[in-house]
Amino acid sequence: MYENNMGNNVIKMNMSTIKIHKMKTKIYFIVAILSFGMLTSCEDFLFPSQDLIIKESDMPRDMLEMRAASLGLYALQQELVEQVLILGELRGDLLKVTGNADPDLIEINNFNISENNRYADPMNFYKLISASNKIIRILEDKYLSDIDPARGITDFHKMLGEAICMRSWAYFNAARIYNEIPYIPETLTDIDKIVEYVNTPGTYIDSAYVKYHPNGLHNDTIVMVYEANDKMFLNQDIVIRKAISDIENRVVSSGVDYGRDYDDPTWLVTVWNDYAKHALLGQMYLHIGDYTKAMQNFNRLLLYAEPGANVVRFGLDGRFRDNNWKNILTGIDENEHIFSLWFGKNTSTFQRNPLQYFFSSTTPNIHAMQPTKYAVELWESLWSRYQLIRNASNPDLTYMLDPGEPGDYHRGNGVSYAYVRNGKVFTSNEWAHMMELKLFDKQNELQIFMQEVDTVVYKYTIGKNPFSHDAHYMVFRAAGIHLYAAEIFANWIPKGGVLFMSRAQDYIYTGNYKQDPRQLGVAGRVGFGRTQGISVDNDIVYNFDPYTNEVIGYININTTLNKQLYLEEVILRQRALELAFEGERFYDLVRIAKRRNVRGLDGNQFLADRIVTKFPSQQQDIIRNRLLDESNWYIPFVLK
């Protein structure tokens, strides 16, 4: 059989008429023993040195080997954690460098990134893309009959879903970082071939590959793909739409439950499951401004119903209420975590991350980055249980009867951040004493008390020894989805032209969007509900002294736009309090800046003003001018 389709640049030839070129490099597997004896594929399998084709004898032979190869993708995604988190946080307003930072981190912090900066390198994104292409090709060629929809949902469908979701996640994050990137043909499954494809001028001819037929060798075909000279870089909007389409048109289900025989539900949280798929689709739709499609996907989690369940899955009930919030950071729970990359699931996997190494000030860690003053003050200037006496007719006469209690002590000190002196974290009494000195404005005593004290990101250290380096990285969790929904309802005008800003507040303060009394909302579950007076129900919004909670002024938000902008600021604060240092802060600011530009407001100025606050005054004008140029929000793409 011979087929020539030059329009699609594809040539197919019958295998019986072609002499198969012998591969130069054999594909190898290495064993990584997981908690139930699972094989994990090695890099040689994911990136073989290929000449012409992959022989059928070198393909995964059964479900066990296929699952091992599929699991190998997660090691590549784990390699991206450091880069994704640092680029997503260090360029924002919540994290800054210390004197221990190396030149690469300083460049990222200062938006002055050189080509050789290790965090600017897109290589790991494209390694993951190439490996995903390989798994997708194997599943759609060798295991075509196993992913036949007529067979129902199988683990092969779910492995295919994992690979496609992972590839879309890689494209989405790369697009947010580099803005314009190459979208790689699915036939390219070797990173060297991808580098050649990206950097070769003119027409590129991909190596041939075998399309296997389930009925045997003589029905197999060689497919030769010719890529014409159309290797233009696509802007992020187009790339993201392609990633969305890839999932929606090809993923039936996602996520093999590797722990189903061991009564361990956390395993399904550590792979690209169907809920993670919808979280990613919702995030991508939000990024391109399609609120309707975003909510359709988010609602798969927000409106999750399980009759008779003791807890509200993804619903922010009392499971992590108050002081239990810190448990979100020390383990994996299927009710809060949607998808987490787990490091150190088993000691023999040797999967570790460097986050504690960068943040902790305890040897052997280097404390290269730390929270900004703004970030710390967000937690320390939040007050609960106060009594505000409003005067609706004359706001100037509104006063604070009882200032209440200072500090978000469930998510703040000793949890998301910590003060450390001589290697020891502040006790609750030391922190309370510091807050008292601030309350009574005893600056001299405060300065003396805080000598030789480091402020550290503690989120990846809590409950660990200095050598652990095994915190899991939360890609998606329920609170983040709630705050995305709040952002949408603060800005979305669906059919009928009615705004639903009160619904936005439900996601933050009460959880009433679902009419389930067990739900508490993002801020509500740690004691900061709507009763605290943070609302757009009134036109007058009061400002408070961060350390005394006294009323120091007010603003009038009597227009729809002003209410939206105010609520947007509330959501930004809540995202900081709940999700700081989890990798999304800079992209939150960029998304809002772009939306403000569309509205005719100065989004560039908004973003610049937020970020420059972490810099010394003599450096602020330089950074502001860089950020006013939108091109500096992105890193030049160089793949070599």
299 is written with which tokens?
């609602």
Please compute Rg for the chain using Cα positions: 26
- C-alpha dist (Å) from residue 451 to 420, 455, 523: 11, 11, 33
The whole-number pLDDT of residue 494 equals: 67
Give pLDDT tens digits for 603-618: 999 999 999 999 999 9
Strands 204-205 and 221-227: antiparallel
The whole-number pLDDT of residue 353 equals: 67
In the predicted model, is pLDDT for residue 264 greater than 50? yes
Q: What is the mean pLDDT of residues 55-66?
A: 60
Give dist(CA 247, CA 56) in Å, integer: 28
The whole-number pLDDT of residue 6 equals: 35
Q: Can you name the residues that pair with 75 across neighbouring β-strands?
A: none
Q: What is the mean pLDDT of residues 122-132?
A: 96
Please give the sequence-ordered ranges of beta strands (E in DSSP) within 180-238, or none if there are none. Answer: 180-181, 204-205, 209-211, 221-227, 234-235
The whole-number pLDDT of residue 416 equals: 97
Q: What is the mean pLDDT of residues 271-287?
A: 97
Confidence band (pLDDT; 50, 70, 90) for 493? confident
The whole-number pLDDT of residue 143 equals: 78
Contacting residues for 57 by C-beta, under 8 A, at least 6 apart: none
Give dist(CA 419, CA 487) in Å, integer: 32
In the predicted model, is pLDDT for residue 344 greater than 70? no
For 155-169, 231-245, 488-502, which range has the lowest pLDDT when averaged over its residues? 488-502
Higher-confidence position of 483 and 331: 483
Per-position DSSP letters for 43-83, written without gaps between them: HHHHS---SS---GGGS--SHHHHHHHHHHHHHHHHTTHHH
405 is written with which tokens?
């209690």
In the predicted model, is pLDDT for residue 471 greater than 90? no
The whole-number pLDDT of residue 22 equals: 25
Is 67 buried (19+), middle (13-18) or exposed (0-12) by CB count in 10 A?
buried
* DSSP type of residue 389: E
Give dist(CA 56, CA 53) in Å, integer: 9
Confidence band (pLDDT; 50, 70, 90) for 392? confident
Q: What is the mean pLDDT of residues 143-147?
A: 77
In the predicted model, is pLDDT for residue 62 greater than 90? no
**Among 365, 363, 342, residue whose Cα is nearest residue 472:** 342
In the predicted model, is pLDDT for residue 35 greater than 90? no
Give dist(CA 181, CA 198) in Å, integer: 10
The whole-number pLDDT of residue 181 equals: 96
Confidence band (pLDDT; 50, 70, 90) for 30? very low
In the predicted model, is pLDDT for residue 31 greater than 60? no
For 20-34, 564-578, 581-595, which range has the lowest pLDDT when averaged over its residues? 20-34
In the predicted model, is pLDDT for residue 13 greater than 50? no
Q: Where are the alpha helices (DSSP H) in 79-190?
A: 81-89, 103-109, 123-141, 155-178
Confidence band (pLDDT; 50, 70, 90) for 140? confident
Confidence band (pLDDT; 50, 70, 90) for 43? very low
The whole-number pLDDT of residue 417 equals: 97
The whole-number pLDDT of residue 342 equals: 77
Identity of residue 467: F
For 242-256, 257-271, 392-406, which range has the lowest pLDDT when averaged over its residues? 257-271
Q: What is the mean pLDDT of residues 111-117?
A: 95
What's the chain's average pLDDT? Answer: 84
The whole-number pLDDT of residue 4 equals: 38
Give dist(CA 597, CA 483) in Å, integer: 22
3-state helix/strand/coil string of 17-31 = HCCCCCCCCCCCCCC
The whole-number pLDDT of residue 16 equals: 32
Q: Where are the alpha helices (DSSP H) in 200-342?
A: 236-250, 266-269, 274-287, 291-302, 327-330
In the predicted model, is pLDDT for residue 362 greater than 80? yes
Confidence band (pLDDT; 50, 70, 90) for 180? very high
Q: What is the mean pLDDT of residues 108-136?
A: 96
457 is written with which tokens?
């990101």
The answer to whether the CB of 9 falls within 8 A of the CB of 225 is yes
In degrees, to the nearest 5, what angle opens at C-alpha 121 toward C-alphas 455 and 159? 95
The whole-number pLDDT of residue 228 equals: 45
For 73-82, 226-235, 496-505, 554-563, which range has the lowest pLDDT when averaged over its residues? 226-235
Q: What is the mean pLDDT of residues 298-320?
A: 90
Give pLDDT tens digits for 81-99: 999 999 999 999 999 999 9
Dihedral sign, Cα of residue 328, residue 285, residue 175, residue 597? negative
The whole-number pLDDT of residue 553 equals: 94
**Among 588, 561, 590, residue whose Cα is nearest residue 574:** 588
Give pLDDT tens digits for 205-251: 665 555 655 555 556 665 655 454 456 789 999 999 999 999 999 99
The whole-number pLDDT of residue 453 equals: 96
Give dist(CA 171, CA 349) in Å, integer: 27
**Among 351, 362, 331, residue whose Cα is nearest residue 466:** 362
How many Cβ atoms are within 10 Å of 47's Cβ, its own excluded? 19
The whole-number pLDDT of residue 133 equals: 95
The whole-number pLDDT of residue 346 equals: 43
